[in-house]
Structure 1
């Protein structure tokens, strides 16, 4: 590029940065005495970062002797912007020690100020989501004079220049030819003039001139904070104002002052806000709830996304200025992708544990260690840890992978939760997943394959036996598969045995059991600490007597591991292999009735003690089941392998019943019910009366099996071979399997 071309490019850059500095000026406020009080110099600066919230340095709200500023009743003071002074109050002070954490706990010279009028209309600055560690060029705010305009000193701010008016001389901010955001030659006030902009609707003061900002060289980051050029004098009125990275168009720090020994300028990184907690709430303030950092940044990110709504008349936004700066850089994950991604993340609940965020970032970056020397608390923070610098494709792949993990983790957290709130979370997780899918279309095939099967938290392992046909000897043959389940009809097949001829049922079961122990242990590990996923077994008609709770599987992954019965240690349920994909309305209606019932009732089949099987004709059973109440659950003491019991289960399934209880080794039609049957039905009644609903049945049956296996409680032996049919139509089993593992559609 020629010298003339370089100068032309520099003039173009300055035009773009002028718009950014105009927005930064309108979001920088002055903090001063309460509205209506005696006129006084501003105490310092602050930055509007979310609707009704100002970020500043905590020391700005203290006088030079360390005492709290002289405020009005209830601690009210003034915040000046757009030519007006509005009432505000200190809400959070991050510089205060946390008594519960001890004196060594980390503190930050930051405070959050709340505007007291929730209807106050104002712009907001953009806070960076990534740590400022490799920046070079930046701007700082000059400060305010007595009218709240610019550059008038006061009595604090670590500068050692109490009451001094500071105006940097021309050239004092470094070589004006270096970097992409240098000031105009001369660097003094008025060198840039005013930036033109479209004001929001309603009365507005003129836009502040862009020379409210001084270009500085960003140096380093250490324990004191972010450092910038020692040749820049920081006005006391600048304390609490923004440190603006002009390359990315973001606020990366809050100016603290000038170090008295080595004279470098210092700023608190905005990532220090990640330490914000409820313990920093000032007495009497309303606050942001139990997780104020997540709440604050959600307000911030959603506000910026809403600023791009169609039909708004507020003129150019901060995002527009960022987009102008970043245009033409060839980024695949640009400011528009970031804007939408952070809005979608802001609509999700906070992660249940910060370690989940670090684990997701570590998985994306393919390293198990922490992604950096900074705390990651929210999904937004994880997003900020993934910028890859000069490689646009690697950066895009990382963000797509991370957001896919977040969408799945969030959906998993509420997959079984009832209520409107959980449904709303599932909807937002689905929106994020759709956004990720749209951005993934440009990835290379191998990356789409790698990112596709995101490691998730399984809720169950499903063993399915698929009947094929009968051999010449009349023996039924089967194929089988094993899948991991994630709820709502989402399955991942992890093991398949498929052949043209199939194998007899007993042989298929033995093949499954040889591999099932290790598969269950792996699923337990993926599900989380101390988790025990549910075992689900889908069988065809005629195999409803399968006592899967008594199956014995390897207790560890050792080659010589002992075999242990699976039923006492984890929930085991039976599912109907004939129900899949298409949900019968009667099935769904019965399930919803059971879920809504305050109490479950055992529905004995045959209906009365002493009735023999002949009195329980198919038509009578059909009538009994069709007219049963919402909370009814069929209970049979007969064998369900054949005869009356098999017919009864078939009728129950055809009339929509999703759950039922029977012993694997019930009695046949050759004898009537006896005392053992009465004990069984009494036990089932007691189980259902105290169940608390159908959702708890699998775990309650597991507890019964455990007591029966250990003979820990008298009268529970009837539960040793208890079978629980539990067929959730909102989580149907997958379609018939093919010759390779696959994820089933909803």
Structure 2
């Protein structure tokens, strides 16, 4: 296959190719049956085939691999680098293309191994992980697989070779053409030149000229070498949700690829770590987005497009593309479905300034497009994309064209309010925080007896009065607390709960215990975590006394503001992915009263500065704060945590809604909803100054 102009020079060094292979293999996984007692020790017990992480918490493989699990449940096993331990996490098959082995085998199925039972093309399956884990992801092309930058591809996977022990495997093949009919979803790419072994099905196929995944290995040849591959763009044929789409997660296709593009934009833009990213290696390969964008510019743009709500429909996206000059979106095998797909149709436009102008016109169309829904973050996403467009135009294009863009932006903003009414704005539901009782658990360490706690449980009336339920001043060991408190808490909840409306649990502790995960307690031991069953918030017992001459109570003023004005999040201990000290109290007090401080790096305790930083936030008069208890890896990228925390705070709008919002997030983590995994281990400080905690000497006095 000849090298098309503008599609990557294919002149990377062997060092670049090795680094690329390392990124691919780090994201390649094994798919196993969920057998009881399975230990990820490299054995081939229950091994079904290969796959790869396509986005955070999402794996892609062949349907004939994933559907051999039991009840659509599988184990996904991965090992990011040779020195790390293997990790096994349960997953569920969210979608398979097609859903079953219906109909006779197509012409391409003669090459499918007998063990697979034969599965019609496209033979793809998406697996969603059922708990949050950190893992790398591949970069997936936004162009159809047939648009190769060159003829050579890399493939990876796992195979046993009959030895009983599984091992990684990689090889190179040449693209020999295709067979099958793309219109019938059975087109497959023919690969030849290297031997393929059992177990490799479901592994990624990488275009070496561009450094991007273009396909999924489907089968090995009946002969000595080669096999077939399915283009990743076939995922565009996933079923469209039948009803209105109100959130990104309602459509698995958009959820996966928005998460994919944000993942790569975040990692390439992060100053944390020195390892080369996919965009770095694509630059070394001489690849790019046609003649208009460098790999770095492309990944940045895709990340910004992924912050927008998706196109209203495939038809609306095709209409948008048809209005652009020199574009032919319907000529591609699978119609574009997301913003990234539409961008991929523009890469073959003529070169020069016109190529960049076309991409910027496309971005302006995305800015003014009708939305299926609008989020609190949508306006910021639009501003971010507009800033990118202006910067690119100012750097490379004429003043006349920049004037035209400004006009498009102005006209587009005039129509947004009308177009965004397709999905009605969410209606805030009333909460129980003021009109109904809640449960108060007070834990105090015994200063003279290490790791022992006194506790009190009471019911807080809407007036702020506390009715006692139980107490114990004999000292309870921390590991015994959940079991010891199960009965008293159950009684307190019974007094407060209403049908489908669980009472809030307020946990009052000194600052030294604010990392205690009461929301993770199983009470009773065979039950679900408390934070899944009901809202759980933290209060502080040891507040710094306010000097008499300090003037009006700033805590009350801040609290009142968060109850009446839309809240906004502010990350106070992390900038550009780097840990920074929390500002001094005087500077924190300069933040707007509706600000909710967010601590990204609290999980790095017991570092003294971490604890001191939280103390400064609490001493700054804030009644609401969020922090995550989980310590991130040293090179972990935290941009998604910042983004999601800000969305959750602004989405809750006012402080009375935030306990319910965090409760929903905890339920989502438990239910395996990937869009909530960022919140795993998040704590909510929620301390109403109008209802101060009672003193220990009067806690058990009935009102």
What range describes the TM-score normalised by the shorter chain of this pair?
Answer: 0.3 to 0.5
Give the TM-score of the pair, scaled to structure 1.
0.45
